[in-house]
Amino acid sequence: MFRKVLIANRGEIALRILRACRTLGVEAVVAYSEADRESLPVQLADEAICIGPADARRSYLSAPAVISAALLTGCDAIHPGYGFLSEDEGFAEVVAAHDLTFIGPPAGVLERFASKAGTRELLAAHGLPTIPGSVGMLRDEMHALDEAERIGYPVLIKPSAGGGGKGMRMVRTPRELESVLRVCRSEARAAFGDDSLYLEKWLDENRHVEIQVAIDRYGHGVHLGDRDCSVQRRHQKILEEAPTAALDEAGRADLAQRAIRAAVAAGYENVGTLEFLVDRDGAAFFIEINCRIQVEHPVTELLTGVDLVATQMRIAAGEPLGFNQTDVEFRGHAIEFRINAEDPEHDFRPSTGQVERYHAPGGPGVRMDSHLYSGYDVPPYYDSLLGKLIVWGPDRSTAIARGRVALDELVVDGLVTNVAIHRALLTSEAFLDSKMTTNLLDRVGSAAFLSAAARVG
Amino acid sequence: MPEPLSPKRGRPERRAADRSAAERSVAERAADHAALDQLAGTLLPALIAKLGASALGEIEVREGDWRIRLRRPLDGAPPARQTRPVERAADKPARPAVHPLDGLTARTESRGVATSPAVGIYRPRTDLHAGERVRAGDRLGSVDMLGVAQEVVAPADGVVGTSLAESGDAVEYGQELLVIELTPGSVASTNGNRAP
């Protein structure tokens, strides 16, 4: 195991990694930007080092600053968290060149899975069904129109270098495709520094189901079940749960088995997530692999009891996984609510400012992963995630009941949060009947959800 | 191999700062925030425009507890260093492009402090000694970040004072490195010379 780890991230995930390090008896250094000087991970860390200004390009996204900080503080590994440098194969390579360990897949593995189109081809060759899509990247408008015609409308335009649902557009007609292609290209270039785009067939009524895997350096791997991330707003996940109701028990087991087999065969290493779209008939199509710890990982932790961040660190340190598929048990039902500083009454406008009073809910099966504290100033420079409320119950209805109580107990004064949309979901028929599809919230409209909930309440 | 950064280096002061911040009332903090917002959103852009349009070398404004001084660099570069905060969500509301405190230097009435531009190894200029006169923007040394030297510059005209870090020290971004004692009246005396 490592002696000392540099945490090159912020917010709730920096805190989560700090806790994993302490559990493993590993020292941790929190690398932070000037804007995060007063943040909770910085205050709780044994050691913290300022790596740059608020602008993430000169701090959390600066490979030289992060690596320099790791060397100066005597660390032997870097945990990138999610976002920022977490899936950057160039960064992983430079980290290794400085005799430091990148906690995640090695650079060569990241490179193999860097292109989404390439990954689809690779995993298709290892037996995973993939969603019909364009062959290679879109060269120009003519090529895009031809490919869309072949796949059949509606299609989804996706940036190859993207992640987290950013920069994606669904189009239903050739005219729409023509009008947004240029915008998508410039958005992709601005957000990811790479304007490669590809097309995917859009399934109108689909569910988003993902399979968590953990594979050690020696090719021994297990799956840790599924997560249903169908509750989305404009392709951004806002609530995740497990197990999914999109598949029956046999279907879930089959998908998870096929996913872990394909990931091992394709040479994946460390923890990762294979994302699938599941259509109305229960057919699953592979869409992409996430080579990092994910925001929604606690759902799986509550269901299986496996500490995914510690597992990720052990694998990166070269340890064997140490358990088999038959050792993994799935108990009950878990739901994660992403608590964002966004105003659902005003088109999810982000809000920043001071948290005047913060109270985290508790009780059986309730976990709150958050970096908030009373008096904390939420800086405006980064994403709007304030924390994650995760609830567990022996069955889904108990988990939902605990979720309602916990959401009512949560206090975040001084900021507008999206808690109202979660409350609304927990009263909506579609959610209670496990009928949420990825487009439902956008199709029905968040406002309709909120007012329906107000009537029920 | 650089000497590892001492775990507690620079932290006692920060802890003290934390405490004082915590002890301040919500109202005081809110007032500070309002003041900062006004600085960033209204005052600073107006000052930059004013300085750009004028032949003045320097503008100073006092408001409440705040004092802002904008100075035109000798090389004719823009009068204030601008950084644009990275916004990960594309739909965030418009924010001022200038961070309220960026480009302003921590200083008391009579001294300025040169701070580290990067996380790395500090290399002060060997030919510069305490008591020597420097001008704002003069190179005082560098911080080596993975083999790339980042310049440490004087925050104001003055005289080289106490060193707060040694050559070869591991320093973090923003760490105080070298005191520059401001000579009384230095601002006034340089004003006339600075017209372009």
Instruction: Establish if A143 belongs to a structural domain.
Output: yes
Report yes or no on A116 lying in a domain: no
State residue A207 phi and psi, 5-degree precision.
-120, 150
Using an 8 Å Cβ cutoff, are A16 and A369 in contact?
A: yes
Nearest CA in chain A to B23: A375
* pLDDT of amino acid A455: 80
Give A204 or A58, the one with higher predicted confidence: A58
Q: What is the pLDDT of residue A454?
A: 80
Mean pLDDT of A433-451: 90
Alpha carbon of A358: minimum distance to chain B alpha carbons (Å): 14
Q: What's the pLDDT tens digit per position in B48-98?
A: 666 665 556 666 666 555 666 666 654 433 333 333 333 333 333 333 333
CATH number, residue A392 = 3.30.470.20
- Residues A317-346, mean pLDDT to the nearest whole number: 97
Residue type, A393: G
Residues of B in contact with A187 (CB under 8 A): 90
User: Which of A191 and A341 is assigned the larger pLDDT?
Assistant: A341
Catalytic, out of A16, A233, A292, A338: A292
What's the confidence (pLDDT) of residue B65? Answer: 59
Alpha carbons A449 and A424: distance in angstroms, whole number = 6
CA A446 vs CA A112, A293, A420: distances in Å: 39, 29, 10
**Domain containing residue A164:** 132-201
* Local confidence band at B195 (pLDDT 50, 70, 90 cut-offs): very low
Under 8 Å between Cβ of A365 and A333: no
Over 50: is that where the pLDDT of B100 sits? no
Q: Take residue B181 and report the two structure tokens written for it.
A: 């004692």
Q: Residue holding tokens 């035109």?
A: B72
Q: Is residue A288 part of a domain?
A: yes
Helix axes A308-316, A297-304, angle to 10 degrees: 100
For chain B, say whether A322 makes contact (Cβ under 8 Å).
Answer: no
Indicate the range of A84-98, A288-302, A372-386, A434-448 predicted with least confidence: A434-448
Q: Which domains does chain B have, with CATH numbers?
A: 1-104 (no CATH), 105-196 (2.40.50.100)
CATH code for the domain in which residue A12 is found = 3.40.50.20
Contact B170, B5 (CB under 8 A): yes
Tokens representing residue A182 in the block:
């240029």
Pair A156, A271 in one domain = no
- Tell me, yes or no, whether A31 and A169 share the same domain: no
For residues A147 and A10, membership in a common domain is answered with no
Q: What is the pLDDT of residue B185?
A: 52
Distance between CA atoms of residues A374 and A359, nearest Å: 8
Q: How many CA atoms lie within 13 A of B131 on its CB side?
A: 0
**Which residue in the block uniquely carries the two structure tokens 């520094």?**
A193
**Range of lowest pLDDT (A39-53, A113-127, B125-139):** A113-127
Over the stretch A283-327, which tens digit does the pLDDT of each residue have? 999 999 999 999 999 999 999 999 999 999 999 999 999 999 999
Identify whether residues A183 and A280 lie together within a single domain.
no
Residue B18's pLDDT is 41
Q: Answer with the one of A55, A85, A103 that is the final residue of a domain.
A: A103
Tell which wins on pLDDT, B55 or A220: A220
- Supply the pLDDT for residue B72: 60
My answer on whether A253 and A159 are in the same domain is no
| Distant-in-sequence, close-in-space partners of A277: CB < 8 Å, separation ≥ 6 | A131, A203, A206, A207, A208, A209, A284, A285, A287, A438
Higher pLDDT, A418 or B91: A418
Confidence at residue A446, expressed as pLDDT on a 0 to 100 scale: 86
pLDDT for B38 equals 61
If you write DSSP's letter for every residue of chain B in order, what string do you get?
Answer: -PPPPPTTTTHHHHHHHHHHHHHS-HHHHHHHHHHHHHIIIIIHHHHHHHHHHSS-SEEEEEETTEEEEEE--TT---SS-------SSTTPPP--SS-TTTT---B-SSEEEEE-SSSEEEEE-TT--TT-EE-TT-EEEEEEETTEEEEEE-SSSEEEEEESS-TT-EE-TT-EEEEEEPPTTHHHHHHGGG--
- Tell me the C-alpha distance between A270 and A311, whole Å: 8
Look up A338 and say whether it is catalytic.
no
User: Which pLDDT band, with edges at 50, 70 and 90, does B2 fall under?
Assistant: very low
Question: Which residues have C-beta within 8 Å of that of residue B21, sequence separation ≥ 6?
Answer: A38, B29
Among residues A167, A201, A235, the one where a domain terminates is A201
- Say if residue B102's pLDDT is above 60: no
Q: Structurally, how many domains does chain A consist of?
A: 3
pLDDT of B81 reads 35
Residue of A68, A169, A192, A415 to mutate, testing the B interface (most B Cβ within 10 Å of its Cβ): A68
Please give the mean pLDDT across all residues of chain A. Answer: 95
- Has residue A163 been placed in a domain? yes
Is the CB of residue A229 less than 8 Å from the CB of residue A185? no
- Please tell me which of the candidates B26, B91, B119 has its beta carbon nearest to residue A68: B119
Q: What is the pLDDT of residue B96?
A: 37
Residue A108 belongs to a domain: no
Q: For B156-167, how does the pLDDT look when each residue is reduced to its tens digit (9 = 90+)?
A: 999 999 999 999
Q: What is the pTM of this model?
A: 0.79
Q: Is A173 exposed, middle or buried (0-12, 13-18, 19+ CB in 10 A)?
A: exposed
Task: Compute the distance between CA of residue A406 and CA of residue A411 in angstroms, rounded to an integer.
Answer: 10
pLDDT band at B46 (very low <50, low <70, confident <90, very high): low
Last residue of a domain, one of A201, A225, A259: A201
A49 closest CB neighbour out of B5, B30, B145: B5
For residue B7, what pLDDT is reported? 39
Tell me the C-alpha to C-alpha distance, in Å, between residue A160 and each of A15, A164, A168, A212: 30, 12, 10, 22
Cα–Cα distance, A189 to B8 (Å, whole number): 41
Same domain, A197 and A211: no
Tell whether A50 and A179 lie within a shared domain.
Answer: no
A56 and A168 in a single domain? The answer is no
Are A337 and A398 part of one and the same domain? yes
| Paired tokens of A5 | 């780890």
- Distance between CA atoms of residues B133 and B190, nearest Å: 13
In chain A, which among 73-112 make CB contacts under 8 A with chain B? 73-74, 83
Tell me, yes or no, whether A109 lies in a domain: no
CB atoms under 10 Å from CB of A338, counted, come to 23
Q: How does residue A179 score in pLDDT terms, banded at 50, 70 and 90?
A: very high
Residue with tokens 């899975």: A113
Q: Do A51 and B119 touch (CB under 8 A)?
A: yes
Residues 6+ apart with CB under 8 A from A227: A209, A210, A212, A240, A241, A242, A244, A273, A296, A299, A300
A143's CB contacts (< 8 A; 6+ apart) are none
Q: Which residue of B has its CA nearest to A343?
A: B92
Task: Give the distance from residue A225's alpha carbon to the nearest chain B alpha carbon, in angstroms.
Answer: 30
Residue A73 falls inside a structural domain = yes
| Inter-chain CB proximity A50 and B173 less than 8 Å | yes
DSSP state of A434: T
What is the number of residues in chain A? 457
All residues of chain A having their beta carbon less than 8 Å from the beta carbon of residue B170 are 72-73
Instruction: Say whether both A154 and A73 belong to one domain.
Output: no
Distance CA A270, CA A317 (A): 10
Name B123's Cβ contacts closer than 8 Å, sequence gap at least 6: B141, B142, B143, B144, B149, B167, B168
CB contact under 8 A, A68 and B88: no
As a whole-number percent, the residues of chain A with pLDDT over 90 amount to 84
More confident residue, B105 or A11: A11
More confident residue, B36 or A232: A232
Residues A320-345, mean pLDDT to the nearest whole number: 97
Q: Is the dihedral of CA A144, A150, A154, A156 positive or negative?
A: negative
CA–CA separation, A432 vs A426, rounded Å?
7
- Please indicate, yes or no, whether residues A328 and A181 belong to a single structural domain of this protein: no
Contact assignment for A55 to B84 by CB distance below 8 Å:
yes
Whole-angstrom Cα distance, residue A264 to residue B128? Answer: 60
Residue A122 within a domain:
no
Average pLDDT, chain B: 66
Is the pLDDT at B107 greater than 80? The verdict is: no
- Chain B contact probe: residue of A4, A10, A46, A50 with most B CBs at under 10 A: A50
Of A34, A38, A49, the CB nearest to B21: A38
Query: Is the same domain home to A269 and A302?
Result: yes
Answer whether the bond into residue A243 is a cis peptide, omega within 30°: yes
Q: Each residue of A87-140: pLDDT tens digit?
A: 999 999 999 999 999 999 999 999 999 988 889 899 999 999 998 888 888 999
